[in-house]
Chains A and B, each alone.
Chain A
Amino acid sequence: MNPASSSPLKRFATATTITCSTTAATYGQCMLKSYQDVKKDMCQKEFLAFKDCVQTAVRG
């Protein structure tokens, strides 16, 4: 799939699941650690790293 020609949602999906799979996994594991006692922003740091990666990938 050529990212430049696909729809914004497709680009977003590719960035989230493929390009940034490592940061996504780190964030996922952080949530998994305490999924029975979830608090807002408990994985803020990991999420921001993930989001940073996705934003860069979508723009690129």
Chain B
Amino acid sequence: MLLRAAGQRRAFASISNSNITQPFAVFDRNVKRIQRDRAASKNGGEDSRTVDYLRNEVADRMIERLLDIKRTYNSILDVGSGPGHFSRLIESKLTKKVVMLDMSEKTLRRDDDSEFEGKWLIPVERIHADEENLLQAIAPGSQEAVVSCLSLHWVNDLPGVLVQIREVLRTDGVFLGALLGGDTLFELRTALQLAELEREGGISPHISPMTDTRDVSNLLGRAGFSLLTVDIEDVTVAYPSMFELLQDLGDMGEGNAVIGSRHLLHRDTLMAASAAYQALHGNEDGTIPATFQVIFLVMRSLSLYE
């Protein structure tokens, strides 16, 4: 058992060779890219498709908000598109084409083959680029609309990326986003903390810090957007147990990528966390709930001369 644990630790430590030099580095982007590439190609993409339920649900709720804006576009840029959970819902009466941009090439092209190409309602262009360096891939002032559905929670410098999104937008462009808020996975977070305190006498971060809902309007104001609407919705999913939740998060490519985190969860702690999850949050029918707090934003880019 001990040997096995040591081996695992080594394997995890070797997957990233990136040098972290930027100012606000919380996440290891290289680890995240590798996780998402692996998740999207596992089992020919099948495992990844089974866990599309969360992103599909959020994309469904987000498309309603796009339809509420009574405008049509020549092109829509989908930042952090993944395989296109949101993009594939966009109809031709809304835009002539959609441009998908993602840091993980495997995720971006997961549903690329002919079998899935038929499901697209409009022409699609794919750009493999890191959303943290959006301006390197997209020309300033070139976009009428930018959307982002559940990708910005892995970005290190969120204010910087929001500024870049504003930069690529034309005057009076639209930004529609769905971000994961700070209460996301609070059940898992508290269960792990309780278990680690009781078993090991200390805690370590296993779940990313996420945007506090109170900070969102400030963030966007600072980036030069005028606020149209912000609203928050919880998506709660019931799982048979904590293990299915962890499995699905992994298959979504949403594993832990916090720099310097202890990647290994001891088996004792895992057992304890499962019991704590059930005791703290368990539903009456024996399942456990997991909450995903989604912040929806609809923004307009201000003119530079306004």
Contacts and interface: CB of A to CB of B under 8 A. Distances in A.
Interface in A15-45: 16-17, 24-25, 27-29, 31-32, 35, 38-43
Contact of A38 (B198, B242, B271, B275): B198
A16 B275 CA distance: 8
A51 B279 contact: no
B200 A24 contact: no
Contacts, number: 69
A17 B268 CA distance: 13
A31 B241 contact: no
Interface in B249-285: 267-268, 270-272, 274-276, 278-280
Contacts of A12: 267, 270
A28 B275 contact: yes
Nearest to A18: B241
A29 B240 contact: no
B143 to A, nearest CB: 44
B97 to A, nearest CB: 43
Interface residues of B, number: 22
B201 interface: yes
Nearest to A40: B201
A24 B198 contact: no
B197 to A, nearest CB: 4
B222 interface: no
Given A29-B279, A31-B279, A16 B274 contact: yes
Scoring B198, B268, B270, B279 by chain A CB atoms within 10 A of each residue's CB, the highest score goes to B198
B61 interface: no
Nearest to B243: A13
Given A42-B198, A43-B198, A50-B271, A17 B241 contact: yes
Contacts of B198: 31, 38-43, 47
A13 B274 CA distance: 9
A18 B66 CA distance: 44
A53 to B, nearest CB: 10
A42 B200 CA distance: 11
Interface of B: 194-195, 197-201, 240-243, 267-268, 270-272, 274-276, 278-280
8 contacts: A16-B243, A17-B242, A25-B275, A25-B279, A28-B280, A35-B194, A41-B198, A41-B199
Given A24-B275, A31-B198, 15 more contacts: A12-B270, A13-B241, A24-B271, A25-B275, A28-B275, A28-B280, A31-B275, A31-B276, A31-B279, A35-B194, A38-B198, A40-B200, A41-B199, A43-B198, A47-B268
